[in-house]
Amino acid sequence: MGTKTIGIIGCGAIGETLAAYIEKELKPYVSGIVFFDVVRVCAEKLAKNTANSKIFSNIDDVVASSDLIIESAVGSCVPDLLRKVIDSEKDIMIMSIGGLLTVKDLLVEAEKKGVKVILPSGAIAGLDAIKASKVAGIKKVTLTTRKAPGSISGAPYLIENDIDVEKITEETVIFEGNVTEAVKGFPKNINVSALLSLAGIGPDKTKVKIIVSPEYTRNIHEIEVESEAGKITTRAENVPFPKNPKTSYLAALAAITALEGYFKNVRIGT
């Protein structure tokens, strides 16, 4: 594998973290980085601190100029971006995995065209075991997420249902439903559920419960899986990412690991 040009779309906390890691650890593999953000000053900030970098004013130029595109923006941009990447036969890493739920057919097309679609494991544990269980047959998957009020405030579901999480004084279940409903109601907060559903039995069958309490200091994700291979229970207690408390630190680290794995030949786990 020769050196690659990486395009980063979305220059917030995750984009900044990946750019810094590329600059520090992946220089032998990367010939340059190109940036795009709807808020141009964010892209300018990253480019200023990155060697061999450029800023583009539209996504088409990023795709055309890159070998690997990293999406770290919002789920709503994923369908069109993935379509462009497939047509250009480039590779892509997607952080806003909830954006894939309406275009799963594109993942099939990407596979046929040999386009690599990388979906980091994010803030949850046990994906390898869940994928292995799927081979035997999964019966049930449940995700229970616990969050502090500030990490989930402003979500569409809360606004639509007139729920003021800042007034919650004790452990309170604010949502129960499936992944399709959860991603729609909490598009910036529950991407882990979308990833879990893709690894397992799909968004309509994967159950989600969201619990809020002012006593929580970490984002906690508990997963229960029942399959023909047995039962799996995992629990991840995630420290909030210092640069963006609505994201778990582990999610940023998982993105780094996934990016590193793209360039390395030795693979641990699936």
Tokens 């709503």, located at residue:
76
- Give the pTM: 0.93
Enclosing domain of residue 161: 127-240
Q: Are residues 99 and 144 in the same domain?
A: no
Q: Are residues 8 and 29 in the same domain?
A: yes
Q: Does residue 259 sit within a domain?
A: no
Q: Are residues 100 and 60 in the same domain?
A: yes
| Active site members | 221
Of 119, 141, 160, the last residue of a domain is 119
Which residue in 234, 241, 237, 235 sits closest to 255, CA to CA? 241
Q: Are residues 48 and 103 in the same domain?
A: yes
| pLDDT value of residue 1 | 62
Of 61, 86, 119, the last residue of a domain is 119
DSSP letter for each residue of the chain? ---EEEEEE--SHHHHHHHHHHHHH-TTTEEEEEEE-SSHHHHHHHHHTSTTEEE-SSHHHHHHH-SEEEE-S-GGGHHHHHHHHHHHT-EEEES-GGGGTT-HHHHHHHHHHT--EE---TT-S-HHHHHHHHHH-EEEEEEEEEE-GGGTTT-HHHHHTT--GGG--S-EEEEEEEHHHHHHH-TTT-HHHHHHHHHTT-TTTSEEEEEE-TT--SEEEEEEEEETTEEEEEEEEEPEETTEEEEEHHHHHHHHHHHHHHH-S-----
Q: Does residue 57 sit within a domain?
A: yes
Q: Are residues 111 and 137 in the same domain?
A: no
Question: Whats the size of the chain, residue-wise?
Answer: 270
Q: How many structural domains compose the chain?
A: 2
Q: Does residue 30 sit within a domain?
A: yes
CATH code of the domain containing 74: 3.40.50.720
Q: Are residues 29 and 81 in the same domain?
A: yes
pLDDT (tens place) for every residue of the chain, 270 residues total: 679 999 999 999 999 999 999 999 999 999 999 999 999 999 999 999 899 999 999 999 999 999 999 999 999 999 999 999 999 999 999 999 999 999 989 999 999 999 999 999 999 999 999 999 999 999 999 999 999 998 898 999 999 999 999 999 999 999 999 999 999 999 988 999 999 999 999 999 999 999 999 999 999 999 999 999 999 999 999 998 888 877 889 999 999 999 999 998 888 876
| pLDDT value of residue 173 | 97
Single-letter code of the amino acid located at 237: E
Of 84, 119, 154, the last residue of a domain is 119
| pLDDT value of residue 265 | 85
Q: Does residue 250 sit within a domain?
A: no
Q: Are residues 113 and 133 in the same domain?
A: no
